[in-house]
Amino acid sequence: MTTVLITGPTRGLGRTTTLALAARPGAELILLGRPGRALAEVADEARARGAVVHEIGCDLARLADVRAAATEVRKLIDAEAARPLSALVANAGAMSTDTRIASGDGYELTFAVNYLAHAQLIGDLVGSALLGGSALPGGSALPGGSALPGDRGALAPAARIVLLGSNTYRANFWRKLLGVPEADWRDPLDIARPATGPASPGMKASGVAYSNAKLAILYYAHELQRHVGAAANVVVFEPGWMPGTALGRGAPAPLQTIMRGVGRLPGVSRPERSGPMLAAVAVDPTWARLRDGAFVLKDQVTSVHPVAHDRDRERRLWEATAELLR
């Protein structure tokens, strides 16, 4: 019997992962996504597959929404209306086509949704008692970030925290050929700041912002594992390149049409294939020993480029995240 919280469950990878999890015996799901018809529909379909489902409306572009959603999760668990989380799948993502657009809290939108929202959610759901009385960035269970004795949080023992990664942070031959921008790492406070001035031509700026957010997730995964220790296993999942999904829904219509065509080519990943793989990483015993931000590319553990391991950058990101989530 497993209880899994997943963000962004209504479309693409999130939907197929949700339904793959729902089909497992004893599944209990907490679906955290934008309120509305799409969330209700995927919840109903998951119930039809046998899962117990809780829906929590949340706009991840607003940290107040994320904090409120985390409070609802903890209330469910404290009231024993839901079991402690076996896994937390930070699936939701966005790729803003204009890096001047700010989140509800004034941060660059791609960085805010892909990274900061999930750091906030995890900070609120990991109990301070599991961390020896300390707190994670964004933890708001207590005023002023002080520790609450006995606060066990929302996670079951040895829970899995699965973050969604991407190889776009580092260019290779194919990414260069396709014009996929790699990360351009800077201080996280600068990365979080929306661009100013005229709009950048093409998709380069938005691609760099996306790659920066995904590199931040890798840095965060490594540092998070150091802080949570044995309380949870932290894993990063890469679903493979999936052009034409809802992630790029803000792109110009002609580009969306092209990417949907590319998405039908042999060898290109699709949500229908990668979703069950993500579900397996979240709950299957095969993956139970993975931790330390292990990088799973579809169904294979693989090495990341050396740039994705940097203790100084990881520490700085942790400090900056605490500042951004105050």
Quote the CA–CA distance of 155 and 2 in Å, as a whole number: 11
- Residue 175: give the domain boundaries: 2-324
- The pLDDT, as a whole number, for residue 86 is 98
Q: What is the mean pLDDT of residues 299-322?
A: 97
How many helices (H) does the chain have, and how many strands (E)?
Answer: 11, 8
Residue 240 has pLDDT above 60, yes or no: yes
Quote the CA–CA distance of 182 and 96 in Å, as a whole number: 16
pLDDT in tens, 222-231: 999 999 999 9
CATH assignment at residue 20:
3.40.50.720
Number of domains in the chain: 1
pLDDT in tens, 15-46: 999 999 999 999 999 999 999 999 999 999 99
- Average pLDDT score over the chain: 89
pLDDT in tens, 256-265: 444 444 445 5
Q: What is the mean pLDDT of residues 301-306?
A: 96
**3-class DSSP assignment, residue 56:** strand
- The pLDDT, as a whole number, for residue 135 is 80
Residue 140 has pLDDT above 70, yes or no: no
Quote the CA–CA distance of 196 and 302 in Å, as a whole number: 37
| Helix, strand, coil shares, percent, the chain, to 5 | 45, 15, 40
Q: With contact defined as beta carbons under 8 Å apart, do 222 and 293 qualify?
A: yes
Quote the CA–CA distance of 21 and 264 in Å, as a whole number: 25
Cα–Cα nearest to 191, from 154, 219, 167:
219
Interior angle at CA 221, CA 217 and CA 222, nearest 5: 125
pLDDT in tens, 189-205: 999 999 998 887 778 99
